[in-house]
Structure 1
Amino acid sequence: MAEAHPNRREHILAEAEQLFVSHGIAQVTTRQIAQAVGISQPSLYAHFGSRDAIAVELCRRAFETLTARLTAADSQGGTALERLVRQSREYVAFGLAHEAAYRVAFMMDMPGDGSADKQVVIEAGVGAFGILYALFVETHGPGALMAAQSAWASLHGLVALLLARADFPWVERESLIEHHIAGVCRAALA
């Protein structure tokens, strides 16, 4: 048996991510992914059992990266407002710097019907959200979940719009981001 290319798995993930962003997860086949990588479909199956397994791995990795970034932002300490502003900046920066990963993890329907794979994605997303939520538990008590989800949704809205409608005549991007984060954070901790 021929030895697998040492970076083949990463190559598969990179090509699949681009195909998913271009066409949607449900419209991409393992045959298309294998062709983009330059391998046979059976060779792809040596690394991933299905298209959905590839999508799950991409989502898991995106949320893992986001979790690490939010954790690092929070670990610097400070007031609740300072911590929330840093976490919010990291969330937005992650989404804009890793557009394909963000789109796959946050903006595409995952195939499946509640399978174990889908549960992996949900748990990874909840893990990332948990960093933000922990801050709200400290400041809001019983209302923490509502406040944290509202802040998360507001940040997502900004990132999704900047990605999906990049050609809209936005004001200067960094100013808009800072203005939005300041408003979300002040309102969230009011």
Structure 2
Amino acid sequence: MTSTTDHRSESRPNRPGSGAHRRRRARKGEGDRLRAEILDAVAELLVEKGHKDAVSIRAVAERVGVSPPAIYLHFADKDQLFYQCCREGFEELSRRLEEAAATEGPVLERLERMGRAYIDYALERGAQYQVLMTGGDVGSIPPELMEDDPGLRAFAVLVSTITEGIESGEFRDDQDPVALAVAVWAAVHGAVML
């Protein structure tokens, strides 16, 4: 009696020198975790390579430890993948700024908390932050994906808080809230980049 071995059930090693690691298969309901890992990998690769054309779906898949088709289960194409990387980064930054702005206290103290939230985000999410602030040279984004801009939302939170300070008398009333917001954003960004 001869025995047959089902080689499909054995773990196949990665190709030598591929740099890929085998990812533990996600359990049902863990697709969001894989999606987040994909977006993190895209941000890292954009920073490393400097341009979206130098980042392939295959490279993203290899970085995460999945096959290229697994990427397409979460993103329709490369443009959507890069756009979502930027969008979700700005959404998280906006959320953090909104939370800091919604706290109690004088406007100046809330602006300080917003600055700290911005810096914390930049330090915790380094690659994604670099992509957001430099554009990661993601190229043009299809118009249908640009319905609302979470980057503008993050900036609008800052403008709104400064406007509140002007209206409450905490800041001089001859100040342009947008110009002040640009100055504050630039100062905090500069501190992060040091």
Do Structure 1 and Structure 2 share a fold, with TM-score over 0.5? Answer: yes
CA 1:117 to 1:92, structure 2 compared with 1: closer, same or farther past 3 Å?
Answer: farther
State the secondary structure of the residue aligned to 2:66.
coil
Of 112, 123, 131, which residue of structure 1 is paired with 2:157?
A: 131
Partner of 1:54: 81
Whether 2:67 is the aligned partner of 1:40: answer yes
User: Aligned AA for 1:24?
Assistant: G
CA 1:109 to 1:72, structure 2 compared with 1: closer, same or farther past 3 Å?
Answer: same
Please list every run of at least 4 consecutive aligned residues from structure 1 whose deviation after the TM superposition is greater than 3 angstroms.
4-8
CA distance in 2, matches of 1:145, 1:134: 9
For structure 2, the 5+ residue unaligned runs are: 1-24, 167-172
Whether the 8 Å CA contact 1:20–1:104 is kept in 2: the answer is yes
CA distance in 1, matches of 2:141, 2:127: 24
User: Aligned AA for 2:151?
Assistant: G
Partner of 2:106: 79
State the secondary structure of the residue aligned to 2:149.
helix
TM-score by structure 2 length? 0.70
Partner of 1:14: 40
CA distance in 2, matches of 1:135, 1:10: 31
**Which of 1 and 2 has greater Rg?**
2
Shift of residue 128 of structure 1?
0.9
CA distance in 1, matches of 2:89, 2:102: 20
C-alpha distance after superposition, 1:77-129 (max 9, x if no partner): 21121111111111111111211221121123443335326736x71101111
User: Aligned AA for 1:9?
Assistant: R
Whether the 8 Å CA contact 2:79–2:141 is kept in 1: the answer is no
Partner of 2:179: 146
Of 123, 128, 147, which residue of structure 2 is paired with 1:101?
A: 128
CA 1:114 to 1:16, structure 2 compared with 1: closer, same or farther past 3 Å?
Answer: closer
Greater share of residues in helix = 1
CA distance in 1, matches of 2:118, 2:82: 21
Shift of residue 141 of structure 1?
6.9
CA 1:57 to 1:78, structure 2 compared with 1: closer, same or farther past 3 Å?
Answer: same
Whether the 8 Å CA contact 2:97–2:114 is kept in 1: the answer is yes
CA distance in 1, matches of 2:123, 2:36: 21
Aligned identity (percent) is: 32
Whether the 8 Å CA contact 2:51–2:137 is kept in 1: the answer is yes
| Aligned residue pair count | 157
